[in-house]
A and B are shown apart, each in its own frame.
Chain A
Amino acid sequence: MTVATEPALSPAAERLRGRLAGTPLAGRCEVADRDLPTIEVSPDAWPSLARFLRDDPECRYDLFVDLFGVDNLRRPGQKSRFETVVHLHALARNEHVRVKIPLPDEKKPALPTASEVYPAADWFEREAFDLYGFDFTGHPNLRRILCHDAFVGHALRKDYAPGQRWFFAEEDMKAPEWATHTDERAGHFETQTISIGPSHPATHGIIHLIARLDGEKIIRAETNIGYLHRCFEKMSETHQWNQIVPYCDRLNYVSAMINGVGFVRTAEKMLGIEVPDRGRLVRTILSEFTRIMDHCVCIGANLVDIGALSNFIYLYQNRENIYDLIEACCGARLTVSYVRVGGLAIDVPDDFVPRCRSLLESIPLFLKDVQKLVDNNRIVRQRLQGTGVVTREQAIAWGLTGPMLRASGVPYDVRRARPYDFYDKFDWDVPISNEGDNFARYLVRIEEIRQSLKIIRQALDILPAKGAVSSDDWRVVLPPKDAVYHDMESLIYHFKLVMEGIRVPPGERYEWIEGGNGELGFHAVSDGRGGPYRLRVRPPCFANMQAFQKMVIGGTVSDAVATLGTLNIIAGELDR
């Protein structure tokens, strides 16, 4: 794939314009062609546009991807201070569309909710309310979601100081309204409300589940998140482009490399620079290894939760072996900080290829052991089969992506749908399952590990033995050290780059890749300074976790634990 903007976009914008022309919406929205087809709409017309985009037979943007706010306070020349941006995806045509909703009222930014059209919008709207103070009229449960209940102000607004904290005490914790009183239903078991987490062994990372039980069955549930809200988006507004890479590593810390790759791709596209093949292939190889680690931890931890310990130890050995490789490349085991805008921090070591090949040998051995232990084990089957079922329709409506969506029978994988780097050159399959239960998700992940191995093998075959891993544009990539020490011009570039950061041309862009848990996208807004003006990460876990409180209804608490394991929630990415 070349860096030139995707030529396929314009027809999509054309079609949108054509379809909208005949409807009552025509006068109230504009279609433009940016990096994505972009519709600008006024707040009051937004719900009907959403309905149109979802239902119109030629649009069918059925997957809700993302919703977030932008504050244009320090970006003059925009229509209004606040705007809401929505990304939607059409599964049938593999197309994204962006909807922009400028909010005219600066004092009280408000717009109608779209959570009736797209159920997945629920949490995203709560997040925009929390961080920007947008009032989504008609939203059923508009409360803070990431920040704590004693928080004052809206943290992502530009006039909020990044370091301003608020004291939070136990008394300030608010339970959801329904959980505060008992459910009086005569002639029935007495129901009870329990609270699991936030520090509980079964809630990987930190998640708080409040559930109402009828006997042992969950009849109502709500998850509280935000216990690991580390202000990634605010931090990225106060740092330079390259300095954000370490922060990205700590989003989905189980698959750190993939996050960095996703982020720098956005910046590279905005800059229009090209990374040499070798650099991109190394990224691909390490990303796939990271995906394997991610799935290993997910499967291992899930099985520990349902009582099978040895698998975890075997799978974790894989992880340690991959750590060896990654540490040899970049110097750290978990938080790699290996990618840079324009390439990689440093070339891979000389023995990179043989090391990769030996890993390709050892990983399947452990997989085989695990499959022997698990696949036909009756206890595992009883715990996983038929629990946590998500149907195809539900999966799409809830905005799931990644292995979760594929286990429900939708073969949407960004590496296939919109191949980046070299994924279109490799021969690999997208594993899906039509069952949609926990066991299907386990099987999909195991198969994805095998497919990743297949991809790595092919990538190693075409990896150029020598050559640069980074672009040689010194406005973006640090010049080689030899030159910096001896040559004045290189030194100047070096100084400029470190002191001022990379000057990314003003504009905005959304780029997305397949993360460990699904579509991982970075939407960056630049105003030409050394750091992004606004960086939005589309966290796949967030949408997946949102579905959890609906998935557990009707099951038992022990099913909920098994389900949570197969969701693979990584709190760093969930709460950012």
Chain B
Amino acid sequence: MSGVIDVSARIPDRLTFWQRLYLPEIFRGMAVTLRHLVLNVVNPRRMPTIQYPEQKRNYSARFRGKHILKTREDGTLKCVACYMCAQACPAECITIVAGEHPKIAYEKYPVVFDIDMMRCVFCGYCVDACPKDAIWMTRNYEMAFFTREEAVFSIDRLRESKAEIDAHGYGYRPYYPGDGTTPPTDASRLPVVAGSGERDALRQAGVALPNRHVGAGPLNATSQAAKFTA
């Protein structure tokens, strides 16, 4: 801790005659701006301007851009339609309809998985909430739509594609190797919990599992409120 300083006392209240002449001060100011100009012309690398679109800002590996749905090695989506991301989303912009997967080990899968980009606030809560490492974000921010309908991304536009990752790179995700966070042991081969044992165990522990087989319906603020007023 320390004291209090009076900032006005440190600076003379009245300007000197020289300073009141306008011109010397104006030239002094111009010297400052001119210095920046000259230095920038001599050394263009000093210029802060990013020549987008030719040149892109080097965003970090945590950038929160468009989402992707991760896939397993056999190409199916890792998502098991557990509704965790939809529940965690403050904007209620994720719509999931679950279906039984023909392969018993995968349990459930999303028949519909829509993210309304026109509602999403890119907070990354869905990534944090996913217990299956199924949803990540990318550094892809190049989105602009001509209609609102275009902005609802369904599975075909959310599924991870190599082209997109090559162009933009991964963004926000649960772990970053060598970046202060530990990746799960061999994250690429997450075990698939067989049968419905996992859900049963969760139910036994008293976790209220959502088991919606139909979509949440038209989303609106009252549905969010109903959670609490019930």
**Is the Cβ of B205 less than 8 Å from the Cβ of A332?**
no
Q: Which of A108-116, A266-274, A425-433 contacts the other chain? A: A425-433
Q: Is the CB of B4 within 8 A of A237?
A: no
Is there an interface contact between B185 and A486, defined as CB atoms closer than 8 Å?
yes
- From B101-109, B149-157, B159-167, B218-226, the one touching the partner chain is B218-226
A94 to B218, CA, bound (A): 51
CA distance A444 to B7 in the complex (A): 6
How distant is A358 from chain B, measured CB to nearest CB, in Å? Answer: 15
In the complex, which residues of chain B have a beta carbon less than 8 angstroms from the beta carbon of A247?
Answer: 90
- Taking a contact as CB atoms under 8 Å apart, the answer to whether B90 and A239 are in contact is yes
On chain A, the residues within 8 Å of B179 by CB distance are 349-350
Q: Mark A159-192, 1 if CB is under 8 A from B, else 0.
A: 0011100000000000000000000000000000
Please pick, from B171, B190, B202, B222, the residue contacting A492 in the complex, using a CB distance under 8 A: B202
For A, the interface residue count at a CB cutoff of 8 angstroms equals 79
Smallest Cβ distance from A529 to chain B, in angstroms? 6
Inter-chain CA distance A492–B133, complex, in Å, is 16
* Segment of B18-26, B66-74, B111-119 in the binding face: B18-26
CA–CA, A330 to B127, complex, Å? 13
Flag the segment in A62-70, A291-299, A368-376 that touches B. Answer: A368-376
Q: How far is the CA of A350 from the CA of B61 in the complex (A)?
A: 12
| B216 at the binding interface (Cβ < 8 Å) | no
- The A70-103 residues at the B interface (CB cut-off 8 A) are 74
Contact with A along B52-85 (1 / 0, CB 8 A): 0000000110111000000000000000000010
Instruction: Answer whether residue B48 sits at the interface, using C-beta atoms and an 8 A cutoff.
Output: yes
Contact with B along A318-330 (1 / 0, CB 8 A): 0010000001111
Out of A242, A331, A480, name the residue touching B64 (CB < 8 Å): A331
- Contact (Cβ within 8 A) B205 A347: no
Is B175 in contact with A243, judged by CB distance below 8 angstroms? no
Question: Chain B's nearest CB lies how many Å from the CB of A296?
Answer: 15
Check A488 for interface membership: any CB of B closer than 8 A. yes
Query: Which A residues lie within 8 Å of B207 (CB)?
Result: 492, 495-496, 499
> Total A-B pairs in contact (CB under 8 Å)?
191
> Chain A nearest CB: distance from B52 CB in Å?
13
**B182 interfacial by beta-carbon distance below 8 Å:** yes
If A243-B90, A376-B15, A498-B88 touch, does A485 touch B184 (CB 8 Å cutoff)?
yes
What's the minimum C-beta distance from B86 to chain A, rounded to whole angstroms? 10
Q: A431-B7, A498-B84 are in contact. Are A331 and B222 (CB under 8 A)?
A: no
Does A238 lie at the interface of the complex (its beta carbon under 8 Å from any beta carbon of B)?
Answer: yes
Instruction: List, in ascending order, chain A residues with CB within 8 A of B180's CB.
Output: 346-350
Known: A161-B225, A491-B131. A434 touches B28 (CB 8 A): no
Any B CB within 8 A of the CB of A377: yes
**Within 8 Å of chain A (Cβ to Cβ): is B143?**
no
Q: Contacts A74-B229, A346-B62, A495-B131; is A377 near B25 (CB within 8 Å)?
A: yes
Look across to chain A and name the residue whose beta carbon is closest to the beta carbon of B197: A488
In the complex, what residues of B have CB within 8 A of residue A431's CB?
Answer: 4-7
Inter-subunit contact B4/A430 (CB<8 Å): yes
Which residues of chain A are within 8 angstroms of B131 by Cβ–Cβ distance? 484-485, 491, 494-495
Q: Given A369-B32, A495-B84 in contact, is the A478-B128 Cβ separation under 8 Å?
A: yes
In the assembled complex, the CB of A161 is this many whole angstroms from the nearest CB of chain B, namely 6
Taking a contact as CB atoms under 8 Å apart, the answer to whether B220 and A163 are in contact is: yes
Residues from chain A with Cβ under 8 Å of B110 in the complex: none
Nearest CB in chain B: distance from A567 CB, A = 18
Interface residue? B194 (CB, 8 A): no
Chain A residue contacts of B99, Cβ below 8 A:
none
Interface residues of B in 1-38 (CB under 8 A from A): 1-8, 11, 15, 19-20, 22, 25-26, 28-29, 32-33, 36
Q: How far is the CA of A253 from the CA of B143 in the complex (A)?
A: 23
| A48 proximal to B (CB < 8 A) | no
A305 to B28, CA, bound (A): 21
CB distance from A70 to the nearest CB of B (A): 16
A488–B201 CB distance below 8 A: yes
Query: A163, A320, A433: which contacts B221 (Cβ < 8 A)?
Result: A163
Question: In the complex, are the beta carbons of B228 and A495 less than 8 A apart?
Answer: no
Q: Show 7 A/B contacts (Cβ-Cβ < 8 Å), sorted by A.
A: A346-B181, A372-B32, A376-B19, A428-B2, A429-B3, A432-B5, A485-B187
Extra inter-chain contacts (19) besides given A314-B36, A484-B131, CB under 8 Å = A327-B60, A327-B62, A335-B123, A349-B62, A369-B36, A375-B11, A378-B25, A427-B1, A432-B5, A432-B6, A440-B7, A440-B8, A444-B7, A447-B5, A481-B174, A481-B175, A495-B131, A498-B84, A529-B228
Nearest 3 CB-CB pairings of A with B: A163-B221, A331-B62, A482-B184
